[in-house]
Structures are given as C-alpha cells and as structure tokens.
C-alpha cells in the first residue's frame, strides 16, 4: 500500500505541481529563505516576499551584512517577526562559522536558529538529496486520512507514527520529489476543507473516505488558550509635522519593530481611565485633551487577541520617555511598524 500511495502521489505531482521559483534551484540559501518565509504563511502570500528578499539579498553574505531594521522593514506585513530576526541571525552564523557555505548535513542544518525538524528535512532533501521526510501540516493530513491515523497529531507519539509511515513510503534516491509531492498533494488535493475526493487518485484505499472521516482527520485537540490584551496607542503630534514613536525592545510580539507610545492594560479602559493612566505615566503638566479615539480594532495573533484603540491626544509639558523618538510624518515608511498600524495609517493621518 505504501508503494502504491507514493507512486500515485508522485505521478499526480508531476501533472499538477505549481511552478515555484524555489523548486527550480538547488541553492540551499534560496531554499532556506523560502522555507522560513512559508512557515505559517500561504504560498500566495509568501511568494512576493521571497522575490523581494532574493532581490535585496541575492547571497547569504548580503543578508548577513544588512541591518536588522532593513530586514524587518522588508518583512513588514508577513507576521511572526521572530522568523525574520532568526533568519538574520542565522545568516551571520553561516557567514562567520561556515564561511558563507550553507551546512550540508541534517544535524547541522537543524542546529541553525529558527530551523526545526521539518525545515531541516526540507532543506536537506531539496538542496542535498538527503532522505529525510519533511512532515508539515499538509503531510500529516494526507497520511492521517489515507492510513487512518486517528490519534491527536499534536502528540509526539502520533508525529512519530506519521514520520515512520512517510519514511516507509519514501524512496531514498527521490527524497526531494517525494517531499514536494506530499506537501503539494496536501495543499492542492487533500485540502483541510473541501478536499477533491471525487478525483483523488487514492480514493480506493483512503481510510478517511471509506469510513466517512474526511472532516474528522487529522485529529487535533486544541488546548491553547487565547490571551486578551488591550492596547491604547497614543498619537502625539510634535512641532513641524512630527510624531512620537518608540521601539518595542522587550521580548514580546513585534520585538524591535516601531509603534506609537503605548498604554497596555489587562482590562478595557474607558476614556476617563485612559486619561488617568496618561496623566500618571506621562506626568503631563497641563490638561490633556483626547481629540479622537478610534473604535476598537481586534487583531488576532496565533495565541493572542489584541483589542486596539488609536488615541489622538493633545498635551503640553509631558514627560518624554527615553525610548521615544520624533520622526517626520513623511518618514513613516522608513520604519518597520506592525502591519496593524500600517493598515490604519491613512485613518490616523486623516484624524490628526
């Protein structure tokens, strides 16, 4: 059954694969960039970013020599910014430790910052033809459905079962083709929602189809609780069309990106409570005028839900914090901001 499945999926891939640039190269650097960009990201969204990074940093040395701010600015809007920081750090390691030559063993690749088992297997097979099965969400779904793996895929034991099945299916000499085929099959054919079962080449042997469990598999028991956070951004206009911003330097979401001065609370703040917090934190010597407050904007991250208000305030003689900077409004785009702020740029400027 394993050989039949592997052959059918491989043949399907040859007829249906998407022509993607990272599939046309054996460059470990380019493949690594694509894999980092595509973590938690759809191909359609990641492709423009891949092209931008290859153009800006054609060699790993170029990425290593860039500033973190340049890297984050190019990454802006893609989310999960720790990926960009880890990628930049790793580029420096490759240049310093490996003399600019990408390591070519699975273990060395896996030891790079920001590279886990899946990414290491993908790079090892695609760039160096090493026989390691790359187990991403698509592959887990395909194997769970075809072979009837009915345990929680978040458990390490289940992942091992799936990895063992993939290893049995894989032909050592065709590791890259096998991994690409399995991932593409899951992305386009055996999709999470509305899979194309009626034209599936494995319909006759698929456990999930014959047991009416296509919607149930793979089994994933979500135990993650969503944390609510309440962000009040303070839009403070200085002289000569300048705005105060600050850099998020703490180890948290959006680390090293820029934002407006922020008051975060554990509960929603009314306008009165917000003004009291501003007075306490900014030590304003004159009255504070809250000129405009946006409606609440909800921004969902993987395990957090942000409740955001943009607040345009007038206050003279206030305490300027050490990490505040004054920038010209016209220089906004030169700083890497979280996408939720950039999305509301026009709205903010219209209400200044």
The set of catalytic residues is: 35
Torsion, Cα of 94, 96, 97, 99 (10° steps): 70
CB-based contact 120:143 (threshold 8 Å): no
CA 28/CA 125 separation, integer angstroms: 10
Query: Quick one: which of 203, 328, 317, 323 has its CA closest to 258?
Result: 323
CB-based contact 68:109 (threshold 8 Å): no
Six token digits for residue 297: 């904007």
Six token digits for residue 137: 């969400």
CA 282/CA 262 separation, integer angstroms: 11
Residue 66 DSSP one-character state: S
CA 76/CA 33 separation, integer angstroms: 16
First to last CA, the chain: 66
Six token digits for residue 34: 């694509």
Strands 304-314 and 227-238: parallel
DSSP helix/strand/coil, 313 = strand
Q: 10 Å Cβ neighbour count for 309?
A: 19
Please tell me the total number of residues recorded for the chain in this structure.
352
DSSP bridge partners of 308:
231, 297
Distances (CA, A) of 210 to 1, 101, 153, 335: 16, 49, 21, 54
DSSP helix/strand/coil, 116 = coil
């Amino acid at each position: 059954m394993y050989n039949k499945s592997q052959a059918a999926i491989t043949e399907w891939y040859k007829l249906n694969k998407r022509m993607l640039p990272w599939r046309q190269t054996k460059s470990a650097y380019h493949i690594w960039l694509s894999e980092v960009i595509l973590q938690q990201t759809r191909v359609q969204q990641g492709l423009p970013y891949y092209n931008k990074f290859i153009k800006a940093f054609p060699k790993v040395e170029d990425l290593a020599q860039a500033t973190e701010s340049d890297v984050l600015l190019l990454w802006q809007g893609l989310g999960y910014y720790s990926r960009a920081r880890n990628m930049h750090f790793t580029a420096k390691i490759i240049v310093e430790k490996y003399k600019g030559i990408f390591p070519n063993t699975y273990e060395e690749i896996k030891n790079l910052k920001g590279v886990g088992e899946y990414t290491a297997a993908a790079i090892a097979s695609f760039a160096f033809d090493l026989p390691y099965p790359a187990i991403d969400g698509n592959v887990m779904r395909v194997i769970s459905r075809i072979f009837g793996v009915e345990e929680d895929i978040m458990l390490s034991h289940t992942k091992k079962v799936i990895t063992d099945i993939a290893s049995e299916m894989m032909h050592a000499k065709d590791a890259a083709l096998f991994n690409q085929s399995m991932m593409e099959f899951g992305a386009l054919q055996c999709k999470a929602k509305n899979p194309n079962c009626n034209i599936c080449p494995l319909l006759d042997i698929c456990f999930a189809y014959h047991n009416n469990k296509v919607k149930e598999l793979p089994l994933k028991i979500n135990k993650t609780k969503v944390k609510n956070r309440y962000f009040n951004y303070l839009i403070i206009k200085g002289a000569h069309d300048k705005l105060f911003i600050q850099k998020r330097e703490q180890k948290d979401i959006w680390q090293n990106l820029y934002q407006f001065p922020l008051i975060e609370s554990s509960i929603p703040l009314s306008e009165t409570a917000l003004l009291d917090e501003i007075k306490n934190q900014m030590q304003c010597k004159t009255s504070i005028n809250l000129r405009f407050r946006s409606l609440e904007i909800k921004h969902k991250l993987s395990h957090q839900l942000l409740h955001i208000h943009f607040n345009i305030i007038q206050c003279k003689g206030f305490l300027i914090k050490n990490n505040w900077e004054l920038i010209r409004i016209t220089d906004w785009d030169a700083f890497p901001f979280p996408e939720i702020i950039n999305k509301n740029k026009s709205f903010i400027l219209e209400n200044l």
